[in-house]
Chains A and B, each alone.
Chain A
Amino acid sequence: MVCVVHYMTHSGDGMMNAFENLRLEMRRGCLVLAVLASLRSEQYGYTLRKTLNDQAMEIDEGTLYPLLRRLESQGLLVSQWREEEKRNKRFYRLSPEGKKVLKQLLTEWDGMSSSLNEILKEQHHGAC
């Protein structure tokens, strides 16, 4: 009995870990798209993070700022240090190249999304 309870609780932990890992993996790809889409209008790091958090796309500083730097080094973003409310802030926005890439990514996203919906619909009918 003890063994059964032990197995059930531990296999539950394993499943939760697997779910958490898969969730993070899935979110990682989506975050790039969310950041690029949010930067169609100019924002600085903190407000961008707040915008994303308000949209349930939580992202911490340690993830956002390296991502912004990477996207900038790839030429998809441009940034500028500017003083606002007596403090220096770095503002980001999409570069012309970034706009093109975002458009392509959104097309890709729509394609993937409709394919996935089709697959899920088939599975649902199959299950019924």
Chain B
Amino acid sequence: MELVDRYLQAVKFWLPKAQSEDIIAELSEDIRSQIEEKEGELGRQLNDTEVARILKQVGPPVFVANRFLPQRYLIGPVLFPIYKFVLKIATLGYLIPWVLVWIGLMTFSESYRAEHYSGSLFRAIGSLWSSLWFAAFISVGVVTIVFAVLERTQALAGPLQNWDPHKLPPVRDPNRIPRSSSITEFIVGVLFLIWWVDTFSSQTVLRFTAIQITLAPVWRYFFWGFLFLSVVNVALAAANLFHPQWSRLRAGVRLASDCAGSVLFCWLLKSNFLASITAPSVEASKTLAITNAINWWDTKMFPAAIVICVVIAASDVYRIIRIKETETRFTPGVAAAVL
């Protein structure tokens, strides 16, 4: 019976002290009854292997003990969907941009690459992980702790119970363009066009009260490029205002315009477009240093700009796919074929 005692001791280890004696006495009685019955059938005492077989049937000690414990969880089933949603937001809003910036730096920044990449991809990923794990730990850890506290205090039970169907958000149509955003886009676009034409149409030298900024000749390309794109975007905003549902054509125009804008913007950052800054009260060496610093920072921003441009283009492509899917879903012929 030593095996049974060892088994009961292992079960007892996982039980709450207040009930352990009682539970073990009852479980012990059951197991010994099983052994007795088997011994009655066989007409002899059971050997260790046979006792072990019975204990295996009863189950692993921790599982058996666990059945006697109340169901416990850090975050319960009511809060879990909200917790999962918040975790997703934290991941999308913090960790993914972090990884994207890292990829951008690794791809386009020679100095960063030289510092963190020593010929091995695994080491590079190791360097990403070493800088990312703390951010991941903090964001996931903080969210989990907050939700565990909410679960323990039941702080959300009241607000979740007192819900009002009228306060639910309206049905969302991802292909619908809010009028407010079209109007804002149109007004901002027109104001930008006026400012752009007024400021840069006939000059590459900008004069303010005491400062003169000279732009490089390459600026003319940017002037015409951004002018054209602004006109396209104002026209698109006007079209969206009167037809507030994305079509494949307009989504395609938006993608083309954003891609062209991205190329222009990234080129602008790399072009050293600022030729000189002149101010009578500042020494020439200082203004030259400022000019160089601005051009240098523009070049440094290039990797981040690439990442942002890729994200914008990806969201435009996703919009087109979504429109296509919606069209397929609501085409009567296709629906009938599916059914």
A interface residues, Cβ below 8 angstroms from B:
44-46, 49, 60-63, 65-66, 69, 81, 87-90
Contact = CB atoms under 8 A, between A and B. Distances in A.
A81 to B, nearest CB: 8
Contacts of A63: 67
A106 B312 CA distance: 63
Q: Chain B, interface size: which category? A: 10 to 19
Contact of B59 (A46, A49, A60): A60
Nearest to B33: A46
Interface string B17-38: 0000001011101111110000
By DSSP majority rule, is chain B's interface helix, strand, loop, or mixed?
helix
A45 B26 contact: yes
Contact of B58 (A46, A62, A69): A62
B63 interface: yes
B68 interface: yes
Contacts of A89: 29
B64 A62 contact: yes
Contact of B29 (A60, A62, A69, A87): A87
A61 B24 CA distance: 12
Contact of A90 (B29, B57, B67, B68): B29
A61 B33 contact: no
Interface string B47-74: 0000000000111000110011000000
Please name the 10 residue pairs, one residue from A and one from B, whose CB atoms are nearest each other, closest first: A46-B33, A62-B67, A66-B67, A62-B64, A46-B30, A66-B68, A90-B26, A62-B59, A61-B30, A45-B30
A61 B29 CA distance: 11
Given A62-B63, A90-B29, 13 more contacts: A45-B26, A45-B30, A46-B29, A46-B34, A61-B27, A61-B30, A61-B59, A61-B64, A62-B64, A66-B67, A81-B25, A90-B25, A90-B26
